[in-house]
Structure formats: structure tokens, C-alpha cells
């Protein structure tokens, strides 16, 4: 303990110092006799713990010393130690901040006064520290993101922080002093009563709740209620802390949906081989039957059959591409043919209450695109437009046009770029969208449709496909009046007929080459052989790899090309290819796969397969691949 003693009488100072040394052996006493010495003592490091001061000194009095101490070291105990202070001056001294006064003729009281002053000072310091911590804690509680609410045992709210005001949409002034059931929504009040009962029985309660706030928001909160007890252990209040977990629950739901979509992708990959084997004979048989059909109605039925098989094949590729994260290759495409397909689907499947208006010019610019994905863009937008007009109906407008955007025009369009574009427009006269819905339409899994009526992936897919094609999407909407989507896709501006890009050269016929066809699907094997036979080739068919090796051994010098399925019993396609290469290293083998275009890529990279044909293949794709393989061999020879 460090004591600063202001005293001009040397004898008195020594007497006091001896008494203090006896009572407080560890204390250090500094005696000063002037204002300058006193000020230096106050400012010394460390500061004194206590000040003793005479009341009357030459040129410097005790009240001035007290004022100086209050100014420089506020709060430390100050005790007057004087020979005669008088009652009036003693009252003045205590009133101006002195803790006590002791007369010199009663020094026995000084240790008691010092201990009491130091104890009182320590208590006051602890109280100030506690008050400061309480203020800091109150500030933390007030600024906390969580909703913190305290209610007494009758249910009346005593604390309602800013987090609670934000979460429930109710100001503290409207909440404090009122029962929680009066200010919260009905569903929240019901949960609150159950929580109180549970907390009273067990001391705490926690649960996730779906509630509607006063301002109409539907949110999910994680609520924890704890029973607060006083020093005697009696319940005195209930503390509730609620956290808004709405976004977290949405992310969890999206994650579960992604998992389900991954499972769907795995399932699609697993059954794609069987689906393609079913579609392959249909797609190949239609051209064979076309030469035998003469009636216009029969030819129209064959057109529908062939187009449906092609669409089914494209759908399988699309699902596989989504499952594998692949978008498929781009090729020069004339979109007007795709749009006509979409209008056929709309006319055949949409309700009669929806009127289709279309404007599809014949001079549209071609684009580098994946036709299946462009078909998907237009169909997704058309389905959304249909849903927006149900059940009353309305007008669905499908329009396409060539657009050249200047830099100024592109700057006025969100995400716009200048250049030549093919613009696809789908508009409706439906309900339109509010500003809140419009702000979220591109979010994956966001949907305004009911449970089980939509995945929320349609518009996200549209925007994603447009972006992968180097384009962009704009949207305009008015609540109650309808919505218009415009998709801009980079276009090519050929000098000639834009439709010429879609024309395919005729596939040359064979010249009696012998082809070994290997597939465990009898229908695929039979139809493929029939196509090749009709187009100038000779064929041998096998149902598995073991049979193929036997027949190849018999006629290895005659067989020009082997068409082999990848997945077969007994011996699969890669195993067959390796075996045939041992028998004849220069044999040309074409892989046929129903698992998507990438399934045989590792084998093709090892130069085991000369090419790969994906089921279900068209007549042109099969004959074109075979012709290229034979031409390549002729060039080498």
C-alpha cells in the first residue's frame, strides 16, 4: 500500500509514520509539505492508494489539496488528519469529497478509518467494474443478431433486443411490458405456451419452428428457452434466444434436392443403355419402311414415328449430359425447324384455352448450338408461360427474329453484348411477377408453384444454356399483365440461304464390303444388318463376343469393319476388340454404345476403336461413320 501524507510538522509526520508502520507493515509513506511536492506525489507511478492531509498549511490548505487530488487521481480515498478542524469545516470537507477526518489527538482511530476507506474504495471500484461490464453486456445483447427476449414468470416481456425487433417485425416499445402471446402471431403463441410448460418442467427447451411474422414473412427459427433462477433457486424469468435459420433450411433443402438429382442421374445412366436399345430399332426401321409406304397418311405416320424416336433419343442424351455435367457438342443449327417442333408440341398438349400466336420467319440466321438444349430453352419458357395463364387461359406468343445490337443498344440490355444475334421471344398474358419474385427467378430450386408441381430449375437451366452458348436472357413483366422472356444467341450471317447450313450431303453406298455386326440386342442387330444390306454392304451378325471371335476367325481376311456393342454378356466390346486385334492388328472396329457418347472414350484414346456411334443412331450417322472408316483405310493403303 502506498500512502501520500501532506504534513508540514515533522514531529507529527514521524509519529503518524511509526503508527502506520506498526499497523500496516508493508505500506510505504511519502511525506510532502508543499503544493509542488504534493502534486508530484499524486502524479508519481504507481499512484498513491490513499491520501492523508493536514487541514492548515502555510501557503497551501487542505481543501485545495483535496480539489487537486479529485482532479488528478479521482476516486482514491482522502482523509483529513488535523489538530483542530472544527465541525463546520469537517462537514465542508466531507461534502467536497473527503472520505473521513481524524483528529491528531485521537490517532488510535486512524487505522480504522484507513481500513474502512480502502474497503469502501475497493467495493466502489468493483461496483463500477460490474456496472461497466453490465453496460457492455447490455450493448452486446442489444446489438446481437439473435432475437433475445426475457419475460417474467407471468409472461410479460421485460427485455426485447434489436434482434427480436428485426426477426419478429415488432419494435421494443410495442413489446416490453406486454404478454408475448398478445404481440406474436397465433402459431408462434401456441408454440410459446408449449415451450413455457416444457421449460418449467425441465429448465430448458429447444425446437425449430415455422412461424409467420407480423409483417407477413414465413420464416424458420431455432428457439432455445431457459429458465432463469434467483439466488435462492426460485424461477424468476424465462430467457429465449431465437435464430433465423430460414436461409440455412433452404440450403439444406437444396442440398437434398441436388442429392436426389444426382441419384436420378445415376439411375438415368444405368438405364440409358436399355432405353437406347429400345429406341434404336425404331429409329433405324423408319427409313426402311419409308420406301415401302406409298400412302400419304402412312408416310405421315412414319414421320411422326421417326421424329418421336429422335426426340426420345435426344431426351436420353440430355439427361445423361446433365448427370455427367456435359453439355454436348455445338453445330450449325437452323432454329426455325426446332421452333416448328415446339409449336407442334404446344398445339398437341396445351389446353385449348391457351391461344398460340407465332412469328417464325424463313430467313432466320443459323447459330452454333446444341439443338436439344435450344429445344429445351423454348419448351421450358413455353411451359412456364402456360402455367402463368392457367386456369383462365390467355395468349402465348412465340417469336424469333434476327437482331444486330450496337454497343449503345447492348449497354441498355442487362448482360448485353453487341453483335449479330438470333432473338427468341416467349411471352404470355398471365399473372406476371412481383418485384420480389422477379429478383429470385434465376435462383436454382426457387419456384412459386406448389409442392410437387415444379423443381425451380427451369429458368436457371434456360439462363445456364444461354450462357454456355455465349448468349444472354432478358425478362420484362408487369403484375397481372404478363411476362416476356427474350433469349439472345450469337448468330452467323451467311451470304447465302441460312437454311443451307442444315443440308447434309448424301451418304455414299457401299461396294460389297463385309461388315461384322455384334450386338446382344437381336432387334438392333437385325435392323442394322438390314440397313447395311440395303445400302450396298454385306453383313454377318453375332449376339455376343465369343460368337464374334469364332466367325471372325473363319473370315478374318474378308471382314472390313466390325460394329460391336460395348456392353454384352460373355465378352464385352473392349474385350472383343483386344481379342480381334491379336488375330488381326489392322482390323477396324467401331464401338456402338447406349451409355452416351463419352462411354468409350478411354478405349478410343488407346486406338482400340476407330470410331464410336451412340445409340439410338440414325441411318445417316451409321452409314456416314462406316463410310469415313472405309475411306480412311483406303487412303492408308
**Residues 6 or more apart from 497 whose CB is under 8 A from it?**
none
Give the SS3 label for residue 470.
Answer: coil
Rounded-to-integer distance, Cα 138 and Cα 161, Å: 9
State the burial class of residue 240 (Cβ atoms within 10 Å of its Cβ: 0-12, 13-18, 19+): buried
Q: Give dist(CA 629, CA 637) in Å, integer.
A: 13
pLDDT of residue 486: 93
538, 569 Cβ separation under 8 angstroms: no
Please report the pLDDT score of residue 518 as a whole number: 94
The candidate with the shortest Cα–Cα distance to 542, out of 520, 509, 527, is 520
- Using a pLDDT cut of 70, give the percent of the chain over it: 86
Which class for 521: exposed (0-12), middle (13-18), buried (19 or more C-beta within 10 A)? buried
Q: For the segment 185-229, what is each residue's pLDDT rounded down to a tens digit?
A: 666 667 777 777 787 778 888 888 888 787 778 888 888 888 888
Helix residue spans in 573-618 (DSSP H): 573-583, 601-605
CB 567 within 8 A of CB 591: no
pLDDT band at 590 (very low <50, low <70, confident <90, very high): very high
Check residue 439 and give its pLDDT: 85
Confidence of residue 505 (pLDDT cuts 50, 70, 90): low
Phi-psi region of 352 (alpha: psi -120 to 50; beta: other; left: phi over 0): alpha
Q: Mean pLDDT throughout 309-325?
A: 62
Model confidence over 112-129: pLDDT tens digits? Answer: 999 999 999 888 888 888
pLDDT (0 to 100) of residue 261: 63
Is 440 within 8 Å of 446 (Cβ atoms)? yes
The pLDDT of 144-170, averaged and rounded, is 86
Cα 54 to Cα 77, 326, 423, 606: the distances in Å are: 14, 94, 98, 106
**DSSP 8-state symbol, 156:** B
Look up cell 435459420; give the residue: 245
Residue 482 exposed, middle or buried by CB count within 10 Å (0-12, 13-18, 19+): buried
Going along the chain from its start, the domains and CATH numbers come out as 2-134 (3.40.50.2300), 144-244 (3.30.450.20), 327-502 (3.30.565.10), 514-636 (3.40.50.2300)
Confidence of residue 538 (pLDDT cuts 50, 70, 90): very high
The residues, ordered by sequence, that sit 6+ positions from 158 with a Cβ below 8 Å of its Cβ are 150, 151, 152, 176, 177, 237
The CA R_g of the chain, rounded to the nearest whole Å, is 45
How many Å separate Cα 612 from the centre of its chain? 38
For residue 34, pLDDT beyond 50: yes
Distance CA(165)–CA(174), nearest Å, equals 10
Report the distance separating Cα 433 and Cα 330, nearest Å.
33
Measured CA to CA, the distance from residue 399 to residue 160 in angstroms comes to: 57
More confident residue, 454 or 395: 395
Helices (H), 242-295: 246-290
Question: Does the pLDDT at position 450 exceed 80?
Answer: no
CA atoms within 13 A on the CB side of 361: 14
**Per-residue model confidence as pLDDT tens digits over 71-121:** 888 888 999 888 777 777 777 778 888 888 888 888 888 999 999 999 998
| Rounded Cα distance, 245 and 144, in Å | 15
Residue 46: cis peptide before it, omega within 30 degrees of 0: yes
pTM above 0.75, yes or no: no
Average pLDDT score over residue span 548-560: 93
Which cell goes with 516? 461384322
Pure H helices in 10-152: 10-23, 35-43, 62-72, 87-95, 110-143
250: which 3 cell numbers?
433452404
- How many CA within 13 A on the CB side of residue 195? 27
**SS3 assignment, position 544:** coil
Other C-beta atoms closer than 10 Å to the C-beta of 345 total 15
Amino acid at each position: 500500500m502506498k500512502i501520500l501524507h501532506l504534513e508540514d510538522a515533522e514531529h507529527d509526520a514521524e509519529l503518524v509514520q511509526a503508527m502506520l508502520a506498526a499497523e500496516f507493515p508493508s505500506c510505504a509513506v511519502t511525506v510532502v509539505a508543499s503544493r509542488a511536492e504534493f502534486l508530484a506525489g499524486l502524479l508519481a507511478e504507481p499512484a498513491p492508494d490513499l491520501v492523508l492531509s493536514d487541514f492548515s498549511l502555510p501557503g497551501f490548505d487542505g481543501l485545495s489539496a483535496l480539489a487537486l487530488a479529485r482532479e488528478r487521481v479521482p476516486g482514491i480515498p482522502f482523509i483529513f488528519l488535523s489538530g483542530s478542524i472544527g465541525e463546520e469545516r469537517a462537514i465542508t470537507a466531507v461534502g467536497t469529497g473527503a472520505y473521513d477526518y481524524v483528529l491528531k489527538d485521537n490517532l488510535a482511530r486512524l487505522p480504522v478509518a484507513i481500513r474502512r476507506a480502502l474497503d469502501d474504495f475497493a467495493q466502489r471500484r468493483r461496483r463500477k467494474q460490474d456496472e461497466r461490464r453490465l453496460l457492455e453486456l447490455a450493448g452486446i445483447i442489444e446489438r446481437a443478431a439473435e432475437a433475445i427476449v426475457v419475460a417474467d414468470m407471468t409472461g410479460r416481456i421485460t427485455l426485447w433486443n434489436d434482434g427480436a425487433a428485426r426477426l419478429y417485425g415488432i419494435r421494443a416499445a410495442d413489446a416490453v411490458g406486454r404478454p408475448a402471446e398478445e404481440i406474436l402471431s397465433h402459431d408462434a403463441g401456441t408454440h410459446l405456451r408449449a415451450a413455457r410448460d416444457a421449460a418449467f418442467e425441465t429448465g430448458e427447451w429447444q425446437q425449430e419452428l415455422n412461424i409467420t411474422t407480423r409483417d407477413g414473412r414465413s420464416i424458420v427459427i431455432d428457439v432455445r428457452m431457459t429458465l432463469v433462477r434467483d439466488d435462492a433457486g426460485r424461477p424468476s424469468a424465462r430467457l429465449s434466444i431465437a435464430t433465423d435459420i430460414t436461409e440455412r433450411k433452404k440450403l439444406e433443402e437444396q442440398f437434398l434436392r441436388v442429392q436426389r438429382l444426382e441419384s436420378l442421374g445415376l439411375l438415368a445412366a444405368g438405364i440409358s443403355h436399355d432405353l437406347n436399345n429400345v429406341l434404336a430399332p425404331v429409329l433405324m426401321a423408319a427409313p426402311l419402311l419409308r420406301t415401302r409406304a406409298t400412302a400419304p397418311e402412312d408416310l405421315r405416320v412414319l414421320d411422326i414415328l421417326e421424329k418421336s424416336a429422335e426426340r426420345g433419343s435426344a431426351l436420353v442424351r440430355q439427361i445423361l449430359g446433365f448427370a455427367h455435367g456435359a453439355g454436348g457438342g455445338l453445330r450449325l443449327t437452323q432454329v426455325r425447324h426446332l421452333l416448328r417442333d415446339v409449336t407442334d408440341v404446344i398445339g398437341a398438349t396445351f389446353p385449348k384455352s391457351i391461344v398460340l400466336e407465332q412469328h417464325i420467319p424463313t430467313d432466320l440466321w443459323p447459330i452454333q448450338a446444341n439443338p436439344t438444349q435450344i429445344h429445351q430453352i423454348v419448351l421450358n419458357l413455353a411451359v412456364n408461360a402456360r402455367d402463368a395463364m392457367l386456369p383462365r387461359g390467355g395468349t402465348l406468343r412465340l417469336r424469333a427474329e434476327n437482331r444486330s445490337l450496337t454497343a449503345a443498344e447492348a449497354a441498355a440490355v442487362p448482360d448485353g453484348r453487341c453483335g449479330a444475334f438470333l432473338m427468341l421471344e416467349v411471352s404470355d398474358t398471365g399473372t406476371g411477377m412481383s418485384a420480389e419474385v422477379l429478383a429470385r427467378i434465376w435462383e436454382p430450386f426457387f419456384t412459386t408453384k406448389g409442392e410437387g408441381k415444379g423443381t425451380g430449375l427451369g429458368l436457371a437451366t434456360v439462363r445456364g444454356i444461354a450462357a454456355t452458348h455465349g448468349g444472354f436472357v432478358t425478362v420484362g413483366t408487369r403484375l397481372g399483365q404478363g411476362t416476356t422472356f427474350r433469349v439472345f444467341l450469337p448468330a452467323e450471317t451467311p451470304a447465302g440461304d441460312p437454311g443451307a447450313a442444315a443440308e447434309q450431303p448424301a451418304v455414299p453406298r457401299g461396294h460389297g464390303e463385309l461388315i461384322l455386326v455384334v450386338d446382344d440386342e437381336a432387334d438392333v442387330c437385325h435392323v442394322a444388318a438390314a440397313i447395311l444390306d440395303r445400302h450396298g454392304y454385306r453383313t454377318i451378325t453375332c449376339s455376343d463376343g465369343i460368337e464374334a471371335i469364332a466367325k471372325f476367325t473363319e473370315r478374318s481376311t474378308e471382314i472390313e469393319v466390325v460394329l460391336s456393342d460395348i456392353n454384352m454378356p460373355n465378352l464385352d466390346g473392349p474385350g472383343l476388340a483386344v481379342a480381334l486385334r491379336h488375330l488381326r492388328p489392322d482390323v477396324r472396329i467401331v464401338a456402338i454404345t447406349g451409355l452416351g457418347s463419352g462411354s468409350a472414350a478411354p478405349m478410343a484414346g488407346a486406338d482400340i476403336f476407330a470410331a464410336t456411334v451412340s445409340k439410338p443412331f440414325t441411318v445417316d450417322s451409321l452409314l456416314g461413320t462406316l463410310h469415313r472408316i472405309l475411306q480412311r483405310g483406303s487412303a492408308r493403303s
